[in-house]
Amino acid sequence: MKNIKKIISITMSLCILFLSVTSLIPRAKAAVQGTITGNEVRLRSAPTTNSTIHDYLYMGNIVSVNSTDKIAGDGCSEGWYSINYNGISGYICSSYVSLAGESYPASYGRPWTSPKKAIMGGADFISGDYLGSGQNTIYLKKFNVNPASPSYPHNHEYQANIAAPMNEAASSYRSYRDNGLLSNPLHFAIPIFNNMPAYTSHPVTGIEQGGTSTITDQAFEDELNRQGFDESYKKWLRELHNKYPNWTFEAIKTNLDFNSAVASEKIVGAVSTSCSACMDPNNIFPEVGWATPNDQTMSYFLDPRNFLMEDSILMFEDLSNNSYYTEDMVKSVLKGTFMEGNDNVDNLPYSQIFMEAGKAYNVSPVYLASLSRQEVGSTKGLVTSGEQFDYKGITYVGFYNFYNIGARSSEENPAKAGLVYASAGSVANSDGVYVGNIGDDGSVPVGPGNNDPVTPSATPVATHLANMGLNRKGNYITNLTLNATISSLKSKTNGSELTFKNASGNLLGNTEKVTTGSTVTFSTGETYTFVIYGDLTGDGNINSADLLRMRQHLLGQVTLSGAYLESARLVNVSGNINSADLLRLRQYLLGQKGINQA
């Protein structure tokens, strides 16, 4: 069994998390811009989960929030927002909307300008946003299926890699085993789905073998029966109980159909492309090195019964801190990595910092160390060195992120995006001198390391477009490079004459990227709308969300119009959108054909 787990762990190694942040937003009035912070977020016709679903929104989508007064309803304890998105009006649970100009309730100690600040602040984030919200096990942080969680099922999940819980649990297990922790009275919360198959199997390693049908403790058996564990669970739990009689097991009845859960998790899940047998043949996952899992692989990793063994059971352990954790346990996790000694800024042992973080925020320090090792690797890199880097026209230096928090897959460089999150808007010159925060409009304040404002002139529209390499099609501007930022466009022409806004009419900052629906107004007063062919959702990316949007348009479930309709014209440049356009988008996502942006 250990060898099987090792094969899978090597095949499906964890590289980077993909994160959606949800939180309560302070109350305010008046319409503002909002950013969607989850995936498959439902836009409903009324403030209740029993109402019609108008559309599905994805992380990074920009919406117009009509009023930040929250509306009471059913299914969202935080309250609902009335919003508009691409001409569609409806209601969204406020947990999934980040309002422009507002900050999250906690800064988590950002900017993280030392390893200790990043480790402590990240622990604060994990504790508050996940463990304190019903996602208090490794499994539940990845697969949000706990009905006690305030977030919708399959949303607000810590990473995309479906093998991550197994890998993290294996790392923790080695520390527990080597330090005698397994003899403690550990408690495990194990999900149960409706309509589960008799078994699930991995496409490479097959069916998990083991367990026992022999009943040796009738009281334990009665407790398992009372909680609703069937024989497919009990055979494994009996074996664990025989070896560790002081362990306890709690059933979490998800009330979710297993096959439906598999289908939902596939949308937000990923497997390493090193396992070709694990990949869906219609892979639509946008990240290089990762692929959409096929049904068999997704079923295997979602099925809790495949991990009810000694070397993987810890994915179901409560991650709260406990008095039996010691620094030696943390050291065993960090052994062989750059975190084995002291950090180079605070000059403190990394093991001591993880222990302090666990105590301060009621999180297992062994888990924090395991998670950090999974996320940043064994050798020091960009996110753990504080070295200087450039991202979207701004230079950063001296920031750290030991859990890759904020490293969203929608970014052109997720690791750098995580460090920008760690900076909390602070910028520094090349000498590491902080010069203030990025302005609300995205501008860098004038000061050391920054240029003085440019004196406006009067350049013709055609000259601006030629300088930026853009085309004009009627009222639209095309030929954009994917992920082009405002600063990158301004740098090619007299940017002081240009005013960029998003689809909701709010000013875009220099670090923000141009998306379908964004507009530019020239000094002449002329305004044009940007179109990125393939970006049907207006988030500046071309991914599975756009494929879903085109399908919905063809099925009559939503109606694309304006720039969003134009962005769907991948083959039929003037006629109706049809299956040929859908095929071209799928081919692009599979890397078979490109999309002409001209």
d(Cα 465, Cα 458) in Å, to the nearest integer?
14
Our CA angle for 414, 402, 383, nearest 5°, is 50
Q: Is residue 310 part of a domain?
A: yes
Which residue, 81, 63, 87, is CA-closest to 27? 81
Same domain, 157 and 93: no
CATH number for 95: 2.30.30.40
Same domain, 54 and 188: no
- C-beta neighbour count of 114 within 10 angstroms: 19
| pLDDT for 145 beyond 90 | yes
Same domain, 52 and 177: no
Same domain, 153 and 43: no
Q: What percentage of the chain exceeds 90 in pLDDT?
A: 33
Considering 285-294, 321-330, 569-578, the range whose residues carry the highest mean pLDDT is: 321-330
Q: Between these two residues, 12 and 119, which has the higher pLDDT value?
A: 119
Q: Is residue 182 part of a domain?
A: yes
User: In this structure, are residues 380 and 337 in contact, taking their beta carbons and an 8 Å threshold?
Assistant: no
Collect contacts of 505-509 with beta carbons under 8 A, ≥24 apart.
Answer: 506/33, 506/100, 507/441, 507/442, 508/442, 509/438, 509/439, 509/440, 509/441, 509/442, 509/443
Same domain, 310 and 251: yes
Beta bridge partners of 340: none
Same domain, 151 and 214: yes
Same domain, 195 and 78: no
CA–centroid distance for 142 within its chain: 10
Report, in angstroms and rounded to the nearest whole number, the Rg of the chain calculated over CA atoms.
25
Same domain, 158 and 39: no
Task: Provide the pLDDT for residue 572.
Answer: 63
When divided into structural domains, the chain yields a total of 3
Single out the residue in 479, 504, 530 at which a domain terminates: 530
Same domain, 95 and 142: no
d(Cα 515, Cα 535) in Å, to the nearest integer?
7
Q: Categorize the per-residue pLDDT at 447 as very low, low, confident or very high, splitting at 50, 70 and 90.
A: very low
Amino acid at 146: N
Q: Is residue 105 part of a domain?
A: no
User: In this structure, are residues 86 and 538 in contact, taking their beta carbons and an 8 Å threshold?
Assistant: yes
Same domain, 68 and 190: no
Q: Categorize the per-residue pLDDT at 20 as very low, low, confident or very high, splitting at 50, 70 and 90.
A: very low
Question: Which residue is it, tokens 């991650």?
Answer: 319
Please write the tens of the pLDDT for every residue from 53-62. 777 776 566 7
d(Cα 110, Cα 304) in Å, to the nearest integer?
36
Which residue, 139, 50, 65, is CA-closest to 100? 65
Distance separating the N- and C-terminal Cα atoms of the chain: 54
Q: Is residue 574 part of a domain?
A: no
Query: Mean per-residue pLDDT for 297-317?
Result: 96
Q: Is residue 402 part of a domain?
A: no
Which residue, 166, 121, 156, 175, is CA-closest to 369? 175
Amino acid at 131: L
Same domain, 88 and 199: no
d(Cα 29, Cα 480) in Å, to the nearest integer?
36
Same domain, 164 and 95: no
User: In this structure, are residues 279 and 293 in contact, taking their beta carbons and an 8 Å threshold?
Assistant: yes
Please write the tens of the pLDDT for every residue from 177-191. 888 889 888 999 999
What's the predicted TM-score (pTM) here? 0.54
Q: Is residue 518 part of a domain?
A: yes
Domain that holds residue 55: 32-99
Single out the residue in 77, 99, 121 at which a domain terminates: 99
| pLDDT for 93 beyond 80 | yes
Task: Provide the pLDDT for residue 311.
Answer: 94
Q: Is residue 407 part of a domain?
A: no
Single out the residue in 327, 357, 387 at which a domain terminates: 327
Which residue, 185, 128, 159, is CA-closest to 371? 159
Q: Categorize the per-residue pLDDT at 403 as very low, low, confident or very high, splitting at 50, 70 and 90.
A: very high
Give the list of residues 6+ apart from residue 182 with CB closer than 8 angstroms, or none.
Answer: 176, 244, 310
Q: Is residue 124 part of a domain?
A: no
Task: Provide the pLDDT for residue 288.
Answer: 77
Q: Between these two residues, 229 and 589, which has the higher pLDDT value?
A: 229
* Phi, psi for 493 (deg, rounded to 5): -150, -170
Task: Provide the pLDDT for residue 552.
Answer: 84
